[in-house]
Amino acid sequence: MNFHVLTLFPEMIRQGLHTSILGKAMERGCITLETTNIRDFAANKYNRVDDYPYGGGAGMVMEAEPVYRACKAVEETIGRPARTVYLTPQGRVLNQTIVEELAMEEDLILLCGHYEGIDERVLEEVVTDYISIGDYVLTGGELGAMVLIDAVSRFVPGVLSNEESSQFESLQDNLLEYPHYTRPEKWHGKTVPSVLLSGDHKKIEAWRYGQSLKRTRERRPDLMKNAVTVTCAYYAPEEKWQEILRQTTEEMTRYGTMLDIGRKKIRKQHNHFETEDFLLFAVPAVLPADSPLASWKEFFQSFRGTQTPAALILYGPSPQEDSQTAFAGIEQDTVYGADSRSSSTDCADVKPLDDPIGSIKKILQDKGFQILDICTHPESISERRRFLLGLREKIYQGIRS
């Protein structure tokens, strides 16, 4: 990940970011940081980049031409146009979903304004994203740029020593993180909760989830409005697909529940969900001939929703695809090696549907589920991440509002 910061104060950026975790990440080459002084592109011998605003008013405005030249110089270095973020109180307020979305970029240009702002004409020409770090005003965009770089870098592979740290954080499930404890076991008369010493991981996870709920209700009750409980209802006879679906659910939530529709017990029990639930339905595009039931309608007969938000994951080759080439597009960094790609289902042994997406979507809608999005290639890491980020953004915006 390469960060390119356009600023009037490059030393402020460099001094603020070349220490601690980010400094070590730069030394290892996980991220790079380049600063460009906008003053170097001024068209006068005094390197002045600001002037009085048309129409009058207090303060000065940064001129368009130096900003434009600086941005184009960086793009020439990169070799192509790049996503350009202007740090401004008028932008989208930064949240975890935006952070993860930006982390998927190879290069980011961050534009830091000063004075009363930047000439609107150059913003219209070079800026792709307007982002704010909060509803308050700073003296310049440098602090905002540093906050964004720090947050985004946590999702760049190799930056954190424990990859799980970037995945399971406060706000990951629209919930605040549970409390943490370390040695000594007793301090100032206060002891570590006994469940954390039990060694029972299921009980520990349940305790952490309960603490997250409690803390969120007490400190950020506004988050509870859009918090959801995620369940993945899936049918995947093959282990490789089970693993992909498990990973997908874990990328969506820390506290998800997996329901195997292939099990007779699950299909016979009463599976009813409300508006505070979120369902990930994951099924093969083609129903295998040896599946327990003959139709999708029978598969989902035990599921009922109450305008319950949901998403559909349709995996494997569609009836129109050649099963022998269905895995050709899988990215090399998935959890499976090349040998696992040769075991895809034989098309001679399946029950095809002309329109599996439309058929399954209608069945689930009739049962009270709102299908917010559909993913057809969960084996692709990039497509899966974009799918999950889209779902998270809908949750942040309020799927029940």
Q: Which of 79-83, 203-207, 291-295 has the lowest mean pLDDT?
A: 291-295
**CB-based burial of residue 108 (10 Å sphere; 0-12 exposed, 13-18 middle, 19+ buried)?**
buried
More confident of the two residues 347 and 43: 43
Query: Would you state the pLDDT for residue 355?
Result: 76
Share the mean pLDDT of the chain: 88
* Higher local confidence (pLDDT), 351 or 10: 10
- pLDDT value for 344: 38
Nearest to 351 by CA among 294, 309, 273, 300: 294
**Minimum mean pLDDT range among 42-46, 190-194, 288-292:** 288-292
Q: Grade residue 170 by pLDDT with cuts at 50, 70 and 90.
A: low
Q: pLDDT digit string (tens) for 99-130?
A: 999 999 999 999 999 999 999 999 999 999 99
> Which is more confident, 338 or 87?
87
Averaged pLDDT for residues 57-71: 96
Of 326, 236, 292, 8, the C-alpha closest to 142 is: 8
- Domains with residue ranges and CATH for the chain: 2-165 (3.40.1280.10), 171-223 (1.10.1270.20), 228-397 (3.40.50.360)
* CB-CB neighbours of 45 under 10 Å: 6
Confidence of residue 345 (pLDDT cuts 50, 70, 90): very low
Confidence of residue 165 (pLDDT cuts 50, 70, 90): low
356-371 per-position pLDDT tens digit: 899 999 999 999 999 9
Q: Is residue 230 a contact partner of residue 255, using CB atoms and an 8 Å limit?
A: yes
- Is a pLDDT exceeding 90 seen at residue 401? no
pLDDT number for residue 167: 55
> Which one-letter amino acid corresponds to residue 242?
Q
Put simply, whether the predicted model's pTM sits higher than 0.75 gets the answer yes
Q: Helix, strand or coil for residue 5? A: strand
What is the distance in angstroms between the CA of the first residue and the CA of the last residue of the chain? Answer: 36
**Residue percentage of the chain with pLDDT more than 70:** 88
Q: Respond yes or no on whether the N-terminal peptide bond of residue 352 is cis (omega within 30° of 0).
A: no
pLDDT, tens only, 37-52 = 999 999 998 999 999 9
pLDDT tens string 294-330: 788 888 999 999 999 999 999 988 766 544 443 333 3
Q: What is the mean pLDDT of residues 74-85?
A: 97
Window from 80-94, 234-248, 279-293 with minimum mean pLDDT: 279-293
- Alpha-carbon distance 230 to 250, whole Å? 10
